[in-house]
Structure formats: structure tokens, C-alpha cells
Structure 1
């Protein structure tokens, strides 16, 4: 009942008390968002979002229960494409990277704006994704990250169709593949490649749940799988062969020592981590291979490159020393495979898109918080294209865990915020 009362009051008032005066005083994007929200068709759209709450939740639950493991998003993509088509998009297709793209044509089409959520989750094939209802709490792997975003993108499209809002710019409503882990942002990278839909002028991603967050800085990362290889043999009978585990241990030690000194230097924060190691067949065998997967991150390309250089030096030093120490047999070799490359970057917080995002958050009653993150927006940010990642609203927790949960605590506010920002970017046709 409380939510119904709140929704009715919002629909009747549209502008929060005192906001109109604030917008006039401050001017710029705040006044723009205020004026946009006061337009009759936008008022109608804001109420439509509230009216669509049951459908939004139904879409959310349906999509959550369609598994989308890394590199296996197609089943969910096919359903999402059908839902986009039913919602009224002018054209819908699945591209060569598995992205769902629904185009809503603008009056002049001089610009193209993207609104997206990512299709994939972190959970492997076979994970039970059935949604559990525990009072007002919904629990399932991936229910927040990022399935809620997919339902938001779909509801914004439905709202624009139901209210007849026409934009100047073309809008691409997207479900994007490969955001998580070793997906390495392959979906959004494809959108900005020569295989993509064409020039993109601004980019709005929905990820996470904090309705107040505005991510405008990209936390870049390099990820490697490093494998030392040798002939291997019996621990006693072949003693004296170069040992891949010895080389791996040296490499980890040398990198940790030099990287520790590097990260303590004054400058933009940089992190490093050895996350997974493996290799070997038995306790009495010299392994034929030893491998590790490592991760390093920074929003500074220079700092990221610096800690990467230290890794490469540590690996080559370890390889050389182990080969020099062996008593017999062939030299070890090493394979350094880049398995993840998320570019870093930062957009000036005075950029119009970012100021509009902050104004839209403020309009629906939040306090905007600028932040850094590793999301699909990394790609456009690294290219200097206006981009933000916004949260999907409500309350959630345990992201990337089997116990992931979400509560629809005024979740419609995040959808209204998203619509306002999208319309400010795309322009309402006169």
C-alpha cells in the first residue's frame, strides 16, 4: 500500500518539492532534466513505468531463470530478442558476438544512443537459477548482476512505445555478451568495432544495484595465463631436469617483490594478484607444465602498463634462472597469453552526459556518487566517447554468489532516472 501511495504522489507532483527552484537557480543539466520531466508526455511516461511494475518484475524473473553462463548466452539472447520485438522495436537482431540489438529509429537519426544491460552471468553451466521467494526478497544466481538491468532496458522501450515518445536520435536497446570474467567485454568491443551497428555517440550501461552511483571512470585490467613447460619426468629417475613449478614460484616471488615497491609509489592506485595456479600430475613426478592466472588493475593506463612490465620481467628472469640451474634435458619454455584486456580511462566530470546523469539521480530523490568501475563502459570511456554505468535500483547483495538476492525497494525510481537520462541524450522530437 505504501508503494502505491508513493507512486500516486509522484505521478501527481512529478517535480519534488523545491526542485524546480533549485533547477532554475543552478541552470544547466538540472534545469534541463526538470523541464523535460514537466512535459506532459514525459509525465505520462513516468506514470507508465509505475503501471508496468508487474510486467517489469515478470520479465525480470523470466530472464533470471534462463541460464546465461559465460560464452553460452544464446538461449537468453534469443528470448530477449523476442521480447524486444514484441515490445515494438523497429528492428531487432543478434549480431556476430551474440549481442541483442533492438533499434528504435529517431526522427533525424543524426546521433545514436545506446542503452544496455549485459546478458551473461558468472555462473557455470548447470547452476540452478530458479528464483526463490522469501517474503519480499528474491534470491537466485544473477538476479541482480545483471538480469535486473535487462528488465529495465526492456521497460524503457515499452514505456516509449506505449506513450508514443519520439526521439531525435536513434536508440539502440541492447543485451550485451561477455561482460563478466574472461568474456573480456567481447560484446561491447564488437559494438565499437567495424562489425558493430555504426557510430555510437553516447553510451548508458546499467549494472550493479546502487541507484545513486554514476560510473564515469574505467578501471582497466590486464589478465594473463602464464604457462611454463618442460619435458617432465620421474622425481628421482629424471632428477636434474628443469622444473616448471620452480620457475613459476620464482616468477611469483619476483613479481610480488617488485610490484609491491611499484604500488607504494605515489600515483594512481594500481593492484596486482595471482588468482589461480595449477599443474603437475603426482607428488613423485617433475611436472611438464606449471601455470598461473594473474590480474592487475588501474584506471591509469601508464600505471597499469608499469605493473604489467614488471610481470613480464619477472617471468623472463625466472625462466632464465631455472634453465641455468638444470643439470640435464631441454630448456623450459614459457607461454604468456593475454586472456583479458579491459582498457582504462576517465571522463571529465563536467561532461554533459555525466552532469545529466547526476541531475537525473537527484530528480528521483537520490544523491549522485561519481565512481570508478570495471564495466562495459570501459570501452567507450577509453575511446573518449561519453559513457556512464548506472545502478539498477532496489536493494541487493551477494553479487556473483549462489545466494545473490534483490528486493524491489522502489525499483521503479531507477527506471524513471534511466528514462530521463536517455531522453535528455536522445532529445524528444518536437
Structure 2
């Protein structure tokens, strides 16, 4: 009864990160023994050895991929480089789908339906023209995107090479994927296509992203993002004074929304946030603008709260524009709401075999598994109830999403790849 109650609470979105982390300590002995047996397998140990032996090449792969800039919606060139690496590492087939995901198929032996997917994302947050030349300072590599998530792509190639060198066969088919659209306004478009439109029968997913070895995400932090466009006639600041001003109307919308949203998020509800992240418009200091815009991000643990703060936002905008137009200005402003992001929330219970195996494998490598949530590629499968985890890329690094991003080659690097391989093999099954 206890486990049933826990599962219901998790699915209902009532568990905090802290409680999830506590639950991570409860690993069923069945999965601990399963993972321990797998790690002692002769072929698996051989694959681990190959991962360690090829670390220099993995570093070179990381540098090569990093130096091909992949801004949001412009991942094609990096995708081509990754595809060549997949082909060189050895897959049964490879293709790029209509949105740009690069997919390598490694066939299993059982003939069972349902793929096990393993991915890292191709895109970085940096715009076209960013200098992504990798600089070496001792053992440290410095370049925008060197960690998030280019390191994950290099890990996939190392895993694949090690499996082939050790002649490892899995029972289930594997999809090894470089996905598009994970960052920012990419809005998880790669994963949305994989799970909503591709027609692929995927029954579990392992994403590589984020930080250290102990990190395991089994929950997705949902978000909704909007661009509000306010338009007016525009004119001279003196000569047309009194004409409806889109900037003034936008300011009123921010004020009304912020007050209502702050009251809502300050209540006794699971954490919910809101943020006006970007504002723009206008032509000069002495011109009444003809257009004003802002971009708004709203996030929530519980899908219910995300829906409710979205309603608050929409109602606030409508109220602000109506009140502004009725304030005595000449003419009026109009507005348009454009949805620019929609990431679903969701949580999976720690009792699922994939999550149990991930925790058991993490503990085997001497790390304390900690469950939590994030806004990552697994938001999509998690929201559909498909077993999924997001694991860290390991190693030491910092400065993610900055021009000063860095990654250190240390002893944890080979372990992070070995861990990813062990989790993948435990889920896909080692063929006898």
C-alpha cells in the first residue's frame, strides 16, 4: 500500500525534489544484483577497458564537434559531423529525420518491438558567429558549448565504439541519437518529433546532459513561453503626444501580471515561477513606438499550476490592454500573443525498472544517486509516462551557457561513459 501511495503522489506532482532524493536511497536488491552481475561480465569489462583506452580519441571527437557551431535551428552542419562519427563507430543504419535528429540504429537480437533510445543534444545556446575554437590550458578545454551538451555527443560515440570492439550484442534495438532543439526556443522540437510524429516505437529513453555522476532526473520541469506583441500607430513624441503608446501599454501589462502572478506563486502551492526575460521595440528616443514586445517564461512542477499561471498571464494582458485603451489616449493599441515554448511537466516513480537500474549502476560507481527534475529532453517521454532518465555527463566543468565554458579531462571522464554504457545495457539487455 505504501508504494502505491507514493506512486500516486509522485504522478500527482506533489513530491518535492528533496523527497525524491530521499526516495533514491531505496534501491531494490533485485536491480543491485542485476547491475553487479552485468558489470562483472567479461565483455562488459572489456568494453570498459576500451572506453578508458580511447579517451584521447574521445577528447579529439569532443573538440571536433565543439568547433562546429550549432545554434538553435541551425544544427545541420554539426549533425553531419556527428553522423560521420556514428558511421565510423559502427551502426547498422543511420538517417537524419525531417527536423534534423541524427539517428543511428544498432539492432538487437531478440526481434522484440520497442527501441531503447540514448541521446545527447546537438544544439548549443550560442548564436551564429560565436567563436567556438577550443583552447587548451593544461588539462582544461575552453570553448562555448564544450560541455553542454557536446560532451554528451562524444560519450555516445565512445560507447558505440566500445560495444563494437567488445562484440557486445543487446537483446533490444538501440537508437543512438543526436537530437535537435533542446535549448531555449528550440522547445524540444527534436524530441517532440521523435515521440509524436516519427512513428518509432520507443519504450524507454536515456538522455545524457547536465552535471556529475550522481545526478539522475526522473521528472520534467514544465514551462510555457509567450511573446506578447503590442502595436500602435506610432508618431513623433512631441507632435503626436497623447497617441496610444505600445511601450506604455506593455509596461501596464507587466505591472498587472507581476502583481497577480506574485500573489499566486506566493501561495501554498508547489514551486511555480514567472519571468519577463526580454523586452524590445521602438525606433528612437523621440518617437512613439509602433511596436513593443516582451518574452515571458513561466514554469511549474505541477501541470495544474502551469495551466493556472498561464491563465493569469492571458487575463492580465487582456485587462492591461483594455484599461490602457480606456485611459484617455488617442487611438488604441492592439496585441497578439504568440506561444514560443511549451514543455510539459511530469514525474516518474522511482520504482520503475529503468530508474532502479540507473540508481543501482550509479551506486556501483561509488556515487550517491540523487533523483530530481529538470527541463531536459526527457520532459516529452516523461509526460507520456514512458520510462526515461537524464544522467549527467560527468567530469568537472563550469560556465555553461557562457562564452567562458570549460571542461576538465580527469579520471571521472571514462567512468561517466562506462556508467552510461552500463545503464544502457541493463535496459536493453545483454544478449547471451
The TM-score, its normalising length taken from structure 1, stands at: 0.92
The residue that corresponds to 1:394 in the other structure is 395
Verify the 8 A CA contact 2:347 2:383 in the aligned structure 1: yes
The residue that corresponds to 1:53 in the other structure is 55
Unpaired runs of at least 5, structure 1: 1-24
The residue that corresponds to 2:178 in the other structure is 175
Partner of 2:420, secondary structure, is: helix
Residues of 1 paired with 2:330 and 2:277: CA distance?
32
Residues of 1 paired with 2:159 and 2:135: CA distance?
26
* 1:232-381 map, 5 Å: 232-329=234-331, 331-381=332-382
Verify the 8 A CA contact 1:101 1:175 in the aligned structure 2: yes
The residue that corresponds to 2:386 in the other structure is 385
Residues of 2 paired with 1:231 and 1:26: CA distance?
66
Verify the 8 A CA contact 1:299 1:346 in the aligned structure 2: no
Verify the 8 A CA contact 1:223 1:341 in the aligned structure 2: yes
1:217 Cα deviation (Å)?
0.8
1:26 Cα deviation (Å)?
5.7
Verify the 8 A CA contact 2:46 2:166 in the aligned structure 1: yes
Residues of 1 paired with 2:192 and 2:171: CA distance?
26
**Which of 121, 136, 152 is residue 124 of structure 2 equivalent to?**
121
> Which range moved further: 246-255 or 107-116?
107-116
1:98 Cα deviation (Å)?
0.6
Residues of 2 paired with 1:336 and 1:326: CA distance?
24
Q: Which runs of 4+ in 1 moved over 6 A?
A: none
The residue that corresponds to 1:19 in the other structure is none
**CA 44–327 in structure 1, closer or farther in 2 if over 3 Å, else same:** closer
The residue that corresponds to 1:18 in the other structure is none
1:390 Cα deviation (Å)?
0.5
The residue that corresponds to 2:30 in the other structure is 28
Partner of 2:424, secondary structure, is: helix
Partner of 1:143, secondary structure, is: coil
> Which range moved further: 231-240 or 65-74?
231-240
Unpaired runs of at least 5, structure 2: 1-26
Partner of 2:196, secondary structure, is: coil
1:327 Cα deviation (Å)?
4.1
Residues of 1 paired with 2:362 and 2:224: CA distance?
32
Give the aligned CA root-mean-square deviation in angstroms: 1.2
Partner of 2:340, secondary structure, is: strand
1:114 Cα deviation (Å)?
0.5
Verify the 8 A CA contact 1:364 1:416 in the aligned structure 2: no
The residue that corresponds to 2:115 in the other structure is 112
Residues of 2 paired with 1:26 and 1:242: CA distance?
65
1:149 and 2:152 matched? yes
The residue that corresponds to 2:133 in the other structure is 130
The residue that corresponds to 2:81 in the other structure is 79
Residues of 1 paired with 2:179 and 2:401: CA distance?
18
Residues of 1 paired with 2:301 and 2:221: CA distance?
4
Partner of 1:192, secondary structure, is: helix
Verify the 8 A CA contact 1:243 1:322 in the aligned structure 2: no
Deviations 1:295-323 (A, max 9, x none): 01112111111111111011001110111
Partner of 1:360, secondary structure, is: helix
**Which of 191, 194, 209 is residue 191 of structure 1 equivalent to?**
194
Deviations 1:126-157 (A, max 9, x none): 11111111111111100000000001111111
**Which of 19, 38, 46 is residue 40 of structure 2 equivalent to?**
38
Residues of 1 paired with 2:171 and 2:163: CA distance?
13
Deviations 1:407-430 (A, max 9, x none): 122211111111111011101112
**CA 197–92 in structure 1, closer or farther in 2 if over 3 Å, else same:** farther
> Which range moved further: 144-153 or 47-56?
47-56
1:139 and 2:139 matched? no
Deviations 1:144-187 (A, max 9, x none): 00000001111111111111111111100000011111111111
* 1:210-229 map, 5 Å: 210-229=212-231
1:197 Cα deviation (Å)?
5.2
The residue that corresponds to 1:418 in the other structure is 420
Residues of 1 paired with 2:127 and 2:191: CA distance?
21
Verify the 8 A CA contact 1:241 1:326 in the aligned structure 2: no
Residues of 2 paired with 1:393 and 1:413: CA distance?
8
Partner of 1:325, secondary structure, is: coil
